[in-house]
Amino acid sequence: MQLSIIVPTYNEAPNVAELVRRVADAVRGIETEIIFVDDSVDATPAAIADVAASAPLPVRMIHRDTPTGGLGGAVVEGMKIADSDVCLVMDGDLQHPPEDIPALFGRFGVGDADVVVASRYMVSGSARGLADRTRVWVSKLSTLLTRAMFPIRLRGVTDPMTGFFVVDRTRIDLEGLHPRGFKILLEMLARKSVRVVEVPFHFADRFAGESKASVRQGVNFLVQLTGLRFGKMSLFALIGALGAVVNLVIMWALIQLGMNYIPAAIIGAEVTIVGNFLLQERFVFQDMRSDAAGVWSRFAKSFAFNNIEALVRIPVIALLVNTWHISSVIAAGLTLIVAFVVRFMFHSLVVYAPRKAGARSRVREVVEEIDAQAATPGEL
């Protein structure tokens, strides 16, 4: 197999037949397979199966009942089972024209690049398929932000967030990728130094169906970008900073309502402890949850530690206010900053620590023993 085409799909049933037809026409003379990695909840799997039965080239499908890593995770799964080391990634909505595949594959064949990127923003390229002016500006500003944060790795790359590219999978660390949502190319380019060249392409109008772009995807992009640039601790800090602001706002509001600053600080702390845990579960330690203790155990450890830390901070706040006459809100902010490093270390090393192989709690052992005894046959 010369080329494996990876197509991640989510509810793209109306586009499947046309996509396969145009790809088959475009890759005549190139031994090619298409791998759909599908997260759909509509008729897309059935449409793929129907097309595969009569397609002039091999068509395979992975359907994921529990999607992990969004579109980027789908791309990685497809690459892992591909028959060729040369993988071309494209969307399933035909905004990446299949007719451009030979140009990408041919440029890769020159042999001086590990990744060939189809760019909307280089000379002769076009982003006309973006739905409206707002999306055009969002795309351009996101690209500028991304290139500014990775000035060395993305030097000369005009479109690091395109979903249309060819890559030699032996030149990237598939196991080391941590995909979130759409921007798998950014993940690849940011994590490892590779040789990149670009070819222009015209981003087309969607053939059928609806765009999957959303505010949620925008948030995932910002989280991904922050994590790639600054690492897990930066995400923890970002959530901690958000929690600190919420904490201070709650405290200030309660003080304005006439509450004493100490109970106000306690209430603010309790609310943000719960909120921070939920955000950390989703965005910071999501890759460690499967190996760690259960969610209620994690919550109990996090909640207990943060309350102990809060109990330590409250007297310190009182000391700063009563002895040094610092504003109570400023005093609370200072103690939150000091507590950050200790909090991160505790969560990384204790809350989300991998479970010991075979380790079971004493309570679980007792419950299992009772169950075993209850199920043992008796005599009449």
DSSP sequence for 31-85: -EEEEEEE--SSSHHHHHHHHHHH-SS-EEEEE-SS--SHHHHHHHHHHHH-SSS
Grouping H, G, I as helix, E, B as strand and the rest as coil, residue 116 is: strand
- Taking only the tens place, the pLDDT of each residue in 237-277 is 788 788 888 888 998 999 999 888 888 888 888 898 888 88
pLDDT at position 357 over 50: yes
Q: Report the pLDDT value the prediction gives residue 149, as an integer from 0 to 100.
A: 65
Q: How confident is the model at residue 215 (pLDDT cuts 50, 70, 90)?
A: low
Quick one: pLDDT at residue 219? 59
- Counting other chains too, the contacts that 327-331 makes at CB distance below 8 Å and 24 or more residues apart are 328/251, 328/255, 328/261, 328/265, 329/248, 329/251, 329/252, 329/255
Q: Return the pLDDT at 361.
A: 57
pLDDT of residue 366: 56
Residue (of 93, 66, 70) closest to 223 by Cα position? 70
Query: The pTM is what?
Result: 0.59
Whether residue 263 contacts residue 325, with contact meaning beta carbons closer than 8 Å, is answered with no
Class of domain 3-209: alpha beta
**pLDDT per position as a tens digit, 3-53:** 999 999 988 898 999 999 999 999 999 999 999 999 888 899 999 999 999
pLDDT at 212: 47
Residue bearing the bigger pLDDT, 39 or 69? 39
Domain ranges of the chain: 3-209, 231-363
